[in-house]
Each structure stands twice: as C-alpha cells, then as structure tokens.
Amino acid sequence: MNCKPGDLAVTVNCRSHPELNGIPLTVVRAVSVDAWLCSGYEIERVSAQYDCPPHILDRYLRPIRGSDGADETLQWAGKPEPVSA
C-alpha cells in the first residue's frame, strides 16, 4: 500500500474521473485491503456531489511525506563547487 493512516496525500491517475486528480486530502483509515477513507474539504465536496463515501483506492493516492535521508540529487549531480567571481 502507498499510504498509511494519518498521511497527507494527493489523488493521481484517476482516468474515469480526471477532475479528482490533484485533490489534497488526509488518509483516515483503511476500509478494505486496497481502499482508504479520506477527509478534506475538496474530497468531501466531491463525495457529496457524486453521493458516495470519500473512499479512495490506494493506487490513486500518493503520500506527501518529508524525507529523513540525504537529498538524492547529490548522488547523481554531484556536490556543487563554489563559484569565484
């Protein structure tokens, strides 16, 4: 699973309802082995519009998390060199 309870996430790759892509939300709890109950103003508004619960399949969610490791850019780009004028 991509997400876990409490994650901030964004919806992605929803082809059947592309207007749902890019909605920020909070993952609340699992409702099945591949879906989450989510909360947030926009997802709840859309949920009411379609008259369905705010359940989102895990494959349509990408968590927004901070990184606790080093920036991987340095691995492929190398350490920046000082510039002298």
pTM: 0.71
CB 47 within 8 A of CB 37: no
Selection from 33-37, 40-44, 76-80, 81-85 with the highest mean pLDDT:
33-37
The CATH fold of domain 8-65: SH3 type barrels. (2.30.30)
CB 60 within 8 A of CB 12: yes
Assess contact for 46 and 53: CB atoms under 8 A: no
Q: What are the tens digits of pLDDT across the range 50-83?
A: 888 889 999 999 999 876 655 666 677 777 778 8
User: Confidence band (pLDDT; 50, 70, 90) for 34?
Assistant: very high
- In sequence order, what are the residues at sequence separation of 6 or more whose Cβ sits closer than 8 angstroms to the Cβ of residue 47? 53, 54
Domain edges within the chain: 8-65
